[in-house]
Structure 1
Amino acid sequence: MRTRITFFIVSLLVFVTTFSGFSGDNIVNKKDFSACYESNTAYQYIQYGPSLTSPLSAINESFEGTTFPPAGWIKINVATGASGWYRVLAGVAPVPGFSGGSITVPSGGGNAVAFCNHVTGGISTNDQWLITPLLTNITASGSLSFWLRKYGTFIDHMDIKISTTTPTVAAMNVTVANLNFTASDSGWVHYTYPIGTLVSSGSNIYIGFRQWVTNAIYDGSSFSLDLVSAVDMSGIQGNNEIPERFSLMQNYPNPFNPATTIEYCLPKKEFTNLSVYNTLGEEVAVLVNEIKNAGFYKVNFDASELPSGVYIYRLTAGEFTQTQKMTLIK
């Protein structure tokens, strides 16, 4: 657990090194004259990843490359004194900004995550963004998937926003989700959101991940982000993108009544089974049980005939197996 004294010392060190023009990993020389600003919105530091040779129609990012931000990605720091998101290797201990814990990765993750905390977000407030490359020609079946872990015993906030114009904070005016975290460790949670219905069909978009708190002295913890995927989930027909890994997404909506959507992806052709079980381990539905080509898929699950409760759905494709939980509330 971090202490307020530790926070003050670390924040002071960040301020001093920033003021002196220190240049470390992912930080360029810059000076902080906070007294000269009328508000934190006047301060903004932007760092671009390497340029892409062409626009993307899908994203599958696990932050395994040593360059951060990755190609096409952008980080923007709004709060005074912020250094922003950076890459951290799995196994680092303690969790940066705290006296305990360690950096972990989610199931299917590699050796690194994108990371931010109460120190990288700013001195008195936190407001730090990580923005994806431009995604082109979003269709109604477009979907965003990512894994997120909030660590630390202080409340924190994560907003997911979309811009249909420019990769700027001001243009992030479409809300995907506002995630509010209590003062506890969330563990790794898999989030999936339909985004194609939030914008006009054919839109080009940027997706922003924003950590923020209004009082970094008493609030703010840390976030690890991994396995960010934004794709057209309409199936392999009309989609030339091939997934890089097997994955079973969190259903949406969740909780649900009586129907929900389950999405999954296959990097290669496999005999595939997608089944639903109750908490007693009894099979209640078989949604897929056939050979499937590589691609992105979604399946509708209608639970009209089932009672309220928690259900487990399991994807098996070749040697790959993954399960998720969902809640039916009638």
Structure 2
Amino acid sequence: MSTALVRTLIRACLTQPNPQNQAEVRTQLVSATAAAWEQTFITLALHRLVPLVTYTLQEWNLTDALPKKYWESMLTHYQEVKTRNTLNLLTLDGILAAMQRKDLHPVLWKGVVLADSFYPLPATRSMADLDFSIPADEMPQVDAVFESLGFQRRDNMETEDAVYYGNTMGILCDVHHRVRLFETTTVKNLTTSLTPKRLKCPSMTVLEPNAMLVHLVVHMDGHLDETGPILIWILDVAYVLRQWRDQLDLARIQQLMPSQDSVDSLMRLVRFLQVEFGEPIPDVLAESAQHYQPYTLDYVLRSRRLTVWGLPSVRGWMRLLACRLGIASDKGRIYPYWRDLMPWSAA
């Protein structure tokens, strides 16, 4: 089963290699069928995990344990992400330096912070754009900074809360001048200073540990209807928990969460990471989390495959049927397995 192979690979990503577990993982990889590898490769791509798994296979000296065609495809993808992320970080260095000269106050978010300071290497965490927030009253100066660096405002992408800037190299910046998640909170000191591991700037302002965790969970929940659960976003939570486990405060997290549903999502996520991948739950969350039923890996994988089609809505069924009949383009969507289309199961 490809689910077992995916589980093995993710567990390896989150574990230090030793002779015993290397031998165990190698046995599982070598014994996997061609069909299991085909499904696993598709799954890793769908969940944006190819770069991290590629790095892990190299670190574990297991690159010869999978079919050559999949390893070559994974390595090519890894190199592409490495090149892209290097360009992203170099560009961000220039943006931050220009903003510092103008005494602006950006707060870096999500992918770029995680790639720089939480994942093993920047190439192991892909990022579609550079995300940060900035005070609304600084936006006129922000426009000038981006224009001076060759960026243009993408008016067609603008939202009520954010402005997008892009350049000719395809770098996209998502700049939020309004952060609804935290604008009504009475909690103080939502940011902290972090020393980058790869960026050249001496420090960067990011969300403090509890606020970052809340933001990651709420962002994930906000996209579930359109993307389903994405494993790289769940591993974002795992890496933040690992690095900042001693700085978490349950009461503060509960204050910052917009609803009890969001608290429930966090608890189910940490239980999922514990049960499926052996990740220890931080002490401050452990007692509360034990009362929650975790998601399962089967549920996460199945939900992702279905959600990209809009299933189980009527419109989703019509889209799937039209594509199967050749009436419409699948637009690169991965077709769900027949077993996915059986009566909907609970998490």
**1 or 2, which has the higher strand percentage?**
1
**Same fold at TM > 0.5:** no
User: TM-score scaled by structure 1?
Assistant: 0.25
**1 or 2, which has the higher helix percentage?**
2
Specify which structure has the bigger relative contact order, considering alpha-carbon pairs within 8 angstroms and separated by 6 or more residues: 1
User: TM-score scaled by structure 2?
Assistant: 0.24
